[in-house]
Amino acid sequence: MTNVTPLNLKGCHVYKGYLNKDAQVHLLQDVREIVAQAPLFSPITPWGKPMSVQMTSAGKYGWYSDRSGYRYSEKHPRGTKWPAIPVSIMEIWRDICTNFPDPHCCLVNFYKESAKMGMHQDKNEQDYTYPVLSISLGDDALFRVGGLNRNDPTESLWLSSGDVVVIGGESRLAYHGIDRVKHGSSQLLKAAGRINLTLRVVD
Ligand code: MD3
Ligand code: FE
């Protein structure tokens, strides 16, 4: 484990360069296997617009959205169960989120060229005392985090391939988003793009 002292961005703990190149390559292989079993899709927002970020999940639950709202589902929209969360991903959670139960969901977010994620709170989980863990792979992304109110001041930070962020305590319900991705800034993926994995205890 590198960088045992994380940097603090409004209560989010950012472990810069947590995963070395080998670990990133191994993780990417596991993500490709998830995507082979549970293809990426663009969730439809409650407002009827497809999200620019493509998604899929592993674990007991996957995150899903359509016109009826945001929620967790035990099945991929094509009707199949989600694949198991790979051990390589589970190990990162167990390394950092010691003493917390194993996560039920590994959400895979895929950002290509112009994809972004607007400011939002993560509120579909039962218990906000459990942390959320995020792993970045591929192109750099400008991450923004604010406070509990949409209009609270924000701080931004570039997340790079191999960075891990742990969101717990007061930051768990903070507004956050991805403003933009620096196209082609990483050579990890075959084509340009960014993958973000988020691990969550759902119920
Ligand atoms: C700060 N994903 O999937 S991960 C999401 O990079 C999501 O794809 C972004 O926001 C991404 O919901 C950011 C880092 C993250 C995750 C959850 C948080 C930051 C957070 C919850 C509260 C505050
Ligand atoms: Fe989020």
The residues that bridge with 111 in the sheet, in sequence order, are 194
Q: Is the CB–ligand 1 distance for residue 174 below 6 Å?
A: yes
Please give the pLDDT value at position 127: 98
The average confidence (pLDDT) of the chain is 97
> Of all protein residues, whose CA lies closest to atom 13 belonging to ligand 1?
177
Please indicate whether residue 171, judged by its CB atom, sits closer than 6 Å to ligand 1. yes
Distance between CA atoms of residues 120 and 39, nearest Å:
24
Ligand 1: distance of its center to the CA of 134 in Å?
7
| CA 201 – ligand 2 centroid, Å | 14
Q: Indicate if the pLDDT at residue 3 is higher than 70.
A: no
Q: How far is the CA of 81 from the centre of ligand 1 (A)?
A: 24
**CB of 56 closer than 6 A to ligand 1?**
no
- Atom number, ligand 1, closest to the C-alpha of residue 55: 3
Nearest residue (CA) to ligand 1, atom 10: 177
Residue 4 has pLDDT above 80, yes or no: no
pLDDT tens per residue, range 39-93: 999 999 999 999 999 999 999 999 999 999 999 999 999 999 999 999 999 999 9
The residue whose CA has the least distance to atom 16 of ligand 1 is: 134
37 alpha carbon to ligand 1 midpoint, in Å? 24
pTM greater than the 0.75 cutoff: yes
CA of 110 to the centre of ligand 2 (A): 13
- pLDDT tens for residues 145-170? 999 999 999 999 999 999 999 999 99
Contact 109 CB / ligand 1 (< 6 Å):
yes
The arithmetic mean of pLDDT across residues 137-142, rounded, is: 98
Average pLDDT over residues 108-116: 96
The pLDDT value given to residue 1: 61
